[in-house]
Amino acid sequence: MTLESVPDRYAVIGNPIQHSKSPQVHALFAQQTRQAICYERLLAPVDRFADSVHEFVAQGGRGANVTVPFKLEAFVLAQELTPRAKAAGAINTLSFSAAGIKGDNTDGIGLVRDITQNAGVQLKNRLVLLLGAGGAARGVILPLIEENITSLVIANRTQPRAMELAQQFFHSGAPVSSAAFDQLDQRFDVIINATSASLDSELPPLPDCVFGPQTLAYDMMYGAQPTIFMQHAAQRGTAVRDGLGMLIEQAAESFFVWRGIRPETALVYRWLRGQL
């Protein structure tokens, strides 16, 4: 494929979608790797996700990212699933071919790469606390386990959801458990906020003992300013990081899934940080 060819079509599908930064990120990846693609935002009505995907495929779409609130519907729609998509129970990357619709999940590997490669924090032999039990939390559990962490504790506002999620992985022998916020009584090496609490400027009710001077507190949310969770953690002496790197790394993995080429992410990160 050359730059003169008709570009292959990709999209990010969600509702709302206007805020999505994925088109800019993928345009930069395409430019850098000289891939002829176009990548657009697709607003799907909340009750017409499957129809919207089929219409996009009929128009020649080659792949799509899926965002809120459709990641679970995408899981049902996909005819083939990668192992990491199966473990996540949610899809953020669809690939379309004559064989049908294939679902993948690149959120988890995006988080792991941002922590280990970009932040330089190793996960092997570490105690990890995961806050939240929604789609984002589900997607990162298997990739975290695969880094050979010592243990993963899941805490969530609605505790039965955390218990259910932990049991799903515990059954396969993974070091995963759940705890209520007020049961947390140890320091963690890495704390990952996969709740949407920061969106409402709210904090998960964490006891101070979970934070230590060697802790990395990671919020999947990102913005021009540190999130309330990052501010809270920094006041307790920890290193902090937001989810912008995860956003770019999950996009890079989707790009790799579709095009077989892994783009460089550091420059894109710096550019997007400057745009926030």
- Among 8, 73, 104, 107, which residue sits at the site for ligand NDP (rule: CB under 6 A)? 107
Nearer to ligand NDP, 15 or 195 (CB): 195
Pick from 204, 90, 219, 213: nearest CA to 158:
204
Pick from 250, 251, 256, 230: nearest CA to 241:
230
Q: How far is the CB of 34 from ligand NDP (least distance, A)?
A: 25
d(CA 32, CA 264): 8
157 sits near ligand NDP (criterion: CB under 6 A): yes
Nearer to ligand NDP, 170 or 181 (CB): 181
Nearer to ligand NDP, 61 or 110 (CB): 110
For 65, the 3-state DSSP assignment is strand
Q: How far is the CB of 98 from ligand NDP (least distance, A)?
A: 30
- Among 115, 204, 238, 252, which residue sits at the site for ligand NDP (rule: CB under 6 A)? 204
Question: What's the Cα-to-Cα distance from 71 to each of 17, 105, 113, rounded to whole Å?
Answer: 14, 9, 21
- b/e sequence 163-186, b meaning 16+ C-beta within 10 Å: bebbeebeeeebebebbebeebee
Nearer to ligand NDP, 8 or 107 (CB): 107
Pick from 254, 273, 270, 274: nearest CA to 262:
254
Q: How far is the CB of 159 from ligand NDP (least distance, A)?
A: 8
124 is catalytic: no
- Among 200, 201, 213, 224, which residue sits at the site for ligand NDP (rule: CB under 6 A)? 200
- Among 202, 225, 235, 266, which residue sits at the site for ligand NDP (rule: CB under 6 A)? 202
Query: Could you say which of 21, 71, 102, 124 is catalytic?
Result: 71
Structure-token match 């396969």, residue found = 172
Stretch that binds ligand NDP, among 12-20, 50-58, 146-154, 215-223 (CB under 6 A): 215-223
Quick note: the x/- pattern for ligand NDP over 112-151, rule CB under 6 A, is --------------------xxxxxx--------------
243 sits near ligand NDP (criterion: CB under 6 A): yes
220 sits near ligand NDP (criterion: CB under 6 A): yes
Q: Beta strand pairing status for 80-81 and 37-43?
A: unpaired
d(CA 265, CA 180): 37
d(CA 188, CA 95): 37
Question: What's the Cα-to-Cα distance from 134 to each of 18, 97, 158, 169, rounded to whole Å?
Answer: 22, 29, 10, 15
Contact residues for ligand NDP, defined by CB under 6 A: 68, 107, 110, 132-137, 156-158, 161, 194-197, 199-200, 202, 204, 220-222, 243, 246-247, 250
Catalytically active residues are: 71
